[in-house]
Amino acid sequence: MISFTVNSEKVTFDGEGDTPLLWVLRDHLQLTGTKFGCGGGFCGACTVHVGGRARRSCMMPVASIANRSVTTIEGLASKTKGLHFVQQAWLELDVPQCGYCQAGQIMAAVDFLERFPQPTDKEIDTNIRNLCRCGTYARIRKAIHRAAALIAEGRSA
């Protein structure tokens, strides 16, 4: 039995330790905001936070997160007691087209902004490697800049 925390809730998984975290989240815990994209860790649709850092859940065996903390898109807002600044920026700028990759994009952006609080376009382009099949990269970049501004305003208040 593998025990870990998801969105501040203690959970257990009584299955194979090599089961990808993605499938435990979606099939066992019914947290379907995290999406299956490529299954090879390339696209980022499955991005979640493990120990506060963005990780591709399709490539993480559930055994590797024993006794660790996972945050999914469903837990991001509750963690901040309201929409996260990145989610606010995404909505404000109407970023999604089809929306499929957006949960992963948001999770990647949250982690990125922890490390780059005032990012340049080059830093965004270099570090945000999630794929968007609709090509909303310009809107994603703009939303990351907007989220950085919202975070700075929120921290100074």
Q: Supply the CATH number for residue 62's domain.
A: 3.10.20.30
Identify the bridge partners of residue 112 per DSSP, sorted by sequence position: none
Q: Cβ(50)–Cβ(69) under 8 Å? A: yes
The answer to whether residues 10 and 70 belong to one domain is yes
Q: Supply the CATH number for residue 85's domain.
A: 1.10.150.120
- What is the Cα–Cα distance from 155 to 157, expressed in whole angstroms? 6
Closest to 96 (Cα-Cα) out of 37, 139, 48: 139
What strands, in cross-sheet order, belong to the sheet with 9-13? 9-13, 2-6, 69-71, 47-50, 53-56
Q: What is the pLDDT of residues 2-41, one digit of tens each?
A: 999 999 999 999 999 999 999 999 999 999 999 999 999 9
The answer to whether residues 67 and 121 belong to one domain is no
Give the number of domains in the chain. Answer: 2
Q: What is the pLDDT of residues 35-92, one digit of tens each?
A: 999 999 999 999 999 999 999 999 999 999 999 999 999 999 876 678 999 999 999 9
Identify the domain containing residue 116 by its residue range.
80-156
